[in-house]
A and B are shown apart, each in its own frame.
Chain A
Amino acid sequence: MVTTTHATATATATAPAAAATMADGDLSEDDRVGLARFLELIESDSRVEPTDWMPAAYRKTLVRQISQHGHSEIIGMQPEGNWITRAPSLKRKAILMAKVQDEAGHGLYLYSAAQTLGTDRDTMFEQLITGAAKYSSIFNYLTPTWADMGSIGWLVDGAAICNQVPLCRASYGPYARAMVRICKEESFHQRQGFEILLSLMNGTDAQAKMAQESVNRWYAPALMMFGPPDDESPNSKQSMEWNIKRFSNDELRQRFVDMLVPQAEILGITLPDPDLSFDEETGHWRFGELDWSEFYDVLKGNGQANSVRVAKRRAAHENGAWVREAARAYADKQAAAAATAAEAATLAQNEMVAA
Chain B
Amino acid sequence: MSVKQRQAPTGIMTPELIETEIKGGLAATDSVGQYALGLGDDALVLAQRLGEWIANGPELEEDIALGNIGLDILGHARSFLTYAGSAWGKTEDDLAYFRSEPEFRCRQLFEQPIGDFAQTIARQLIASVYFDSLYRALMHSADPTLAAIAAKATKEVDYHLDHSTQWLLRLGLGTDESALRMQRGLDAMWPFVAELYSAEPVVESAAASVASVASAASAASVAEDDRGSLEGIAVDPRALRAEFDAVVPLLIEQAGLVVPKTGSVRGGGRLGIHSEAFGPMLAEMQVLARQHPGASW
Which A residues have a C-beta under 8 Å from some C-beta of B?
74, 77-78, 81, 84-94, 97-98, 100-101, 104-105, 107-108, 111, 146, 196, 199-200, 203-204, 206-207, 312-313, 316-317, 319-330, 333
Q: Tell me the minimal C-beta distance from B90 to chain A in angstroms.
A: 13
Q: Which residue of B lies closest to A322 (CB)?
A: B177
Known: A91-B15, A104-B60, A207-B292. 10 other contacts (CB 8 A): A85-B51, A89-B97, A90-B81, A97-B54, A97-B70, A199-B297, A319-B56, A323-B171, A329-B178, A330-B169
Contacting residues, chain A, for B67 (C-beta < 8 A): 97, 100-101, 104
Contact A74 B60 (CB under 8 A): yes
CB proximity to A under 8 Å, residues B35-59? 44, 48, 51-52, 54-59
Q: Tell me the minimal C-beta distance from A29 to chain B in angstroms.
A: 42
Q: Tell me the minimal C-beta distance from B267 to chain A in angstroms.
A: 25
Contacting residues, chain A, for B57 (C-beta < 8 A): 316, 320
Is B26's CB within 8 Å of the partner chain A?
no
CA A89 to CA B295, docked complex, whole Å? 10
CA A108 to CA B61, docked complex, whole Å? 8
A89 in complex: contacting residue of B173, B177, B289, CB < 8 Å: B289
A–B Cβ pairs within 8 angstroms, 8 of them:
A77-B63, A98-B71, A104-B60, A196-B297, A203-B295, A207-B292, A326-B175, A328-B174
Given contacts A88-B288, A326-B170, contact A320 B117 (CB under 8 A): yes
Q: Tell me the minimal C-beta distance from A183 to chain B in angstroms.
A: 19
CB proximity to A under 8 Å, residues B55-111? 55-64, 67-68, 70-71, 74-75, 77-78, 81, 92-93, 96-97
Q: Tell me the minimal C-beta distance from A68 to chain B in angstroms.
A: 16
Given contacts A85-B284, A320-B117, contact A101 B58 (CB under 8 A): no
Contact B55 A312 (CB under 8 A): yes
Contact B297 A108 (CB under 8 A): no
A108 in complex: contacting residue of B54, B60, B181, B288, CB < 8 Å: B60
Contact B175 A88 (CB under 8 A): no
Name the residue among B44, B63, B285 with the largest chain A CB count within 10 angstroms: B63
CA A105 to CA B77, docked complex, whole Å? 25
CA A202 to CA B181, docked complex, whole Å? 50
CA A92 to CA B93, docked complex, whole Å? 11
Contacting residues, chain B, for A91 (C-beta < 8 A): 15, 78, 297
Given contacts A97-B70, A97-B71, A203-B295, contact A86 B54 (CB under 8 A): no
Q: Which residue of B lies closest to A74 (CB)?
A: B60
Instruction: Mark contacts of B266-294 with chain A using CB atoms, 8 A cut-off: 1 yes-contact digit, 0 otherwise.
Output: 00000000000000000011011100101
Q: Tell me the minimal C-beta distance from A62 to chain B in angstroms.
A: 21
A325 in complex: contacting residue of B61, B178, B295, CB < 8 Å: B178
Name the residue among A108, A200, A326 with the largest chain B CB count within 10 angstroms: A326
Contacting residues, chain A, for B7 (C-beta < 8 A): none
A93 in complex: contacting residue of B55, B59, B74, B117, CB < 8 Å: B74
Contact A104 B52 (CB under 8 A): no
Contact A100 B93 (CB under 8 A): no
Contact A323 B55 (CB under 8 A): no
Which B residues have a C-beta under 8 Å from some C-beta of A?
15, 44, 48, 51-52, 54-64, 67-68, 70-71, 74-75, 77-78, 81, 92-93, 96-97, 116-117, 169-171, 173-175, 177-178, 181, 284-285, 287-289, 292, 294-297
Contact A104 B295 (CB under 8 A): no
Contact B175 A329 (CB under 8 A): yes
Contacting residues, chain A, for B51 (C-beta < 8 A): 84-85, 93, 97
Contact A320 B58 (CB under 8 A): yes
Contact B71 A94 (CB under 8 A): yes
Contact B64 A101 (CB under 8 A): yes
Q: Tell me the minimal C-beta distance from A19 to chain B in angstroms.
A: 38
Q: Which residue of A lies closest to B116 (CB)?
A: A319
Q: Tell me the minimal C-beta distance from A288 to chain B in angstroms.
A: 32
B63 in complex: contacting residue of A104, A199, A329, CB < 8 Å: A104
Contact A324 B48 (CB under 8 A): no
CA A101 to CA B53, docked complex, whole Å? 11
Q: Which residue of B lies closest to A94 (CB)?
A: B74
Q: Tell me the minimal C-beta distance from B293 to chain A in angstroms.
A: 10
Given contacts A77-B63, A329-B174, A329-B175, contact A86 B284 (CB under 8 A): yes
Contact A85 B296 (CB under 8 A): no
CA A326 to CA B28, docked complex, whole Å? 48
Given contacts A107-B60, A320-B59, A323-B171, contact A88 B97 (CB under 8 A): yes
Contact B81 A100 (CB under 8 A): no
Contact A90 B60 (CB under 8 A): no
Contact A327 B170 (CB under 8 A): yes
Given contacts A326-B174, A330-B174, contact A90 B78 (CB under 8 A): yes
CA A93 to CA B224, docked complex, whole Å? 39
Q: Tell me the minimal C-beta distance from A108 to chain B in angstroms.
A: 6
In the A-B complex, the 3 residue pairs with the smallest Cβ-Cβ separation, listed nearest first, are A320-B58, A326-B174, A326-B178
Contact A88 B292 (CB under 8 A): yes
CA A87 to CA B71, docked complex, whole Å? 13
Contact B54 A81 (CB under 8 A): yes
Q: Tell me the minimal C-beta distance from B82 to chain A in angstroms.
A: 9
B75 in complex: contacting residue of A78, A94, A322, A324, CB < 8 Å: A94
CA A90 to CA B54, docked complex, whole Å? 17
CA A199 to CA B297, docked complex, whole Å? 6
Q: Which residue of A lies closest to B82 (CB)?
A: A90
Contacting residues, chain A, for B292 (C-beta < 8 A): 88, 203-204, 206-207
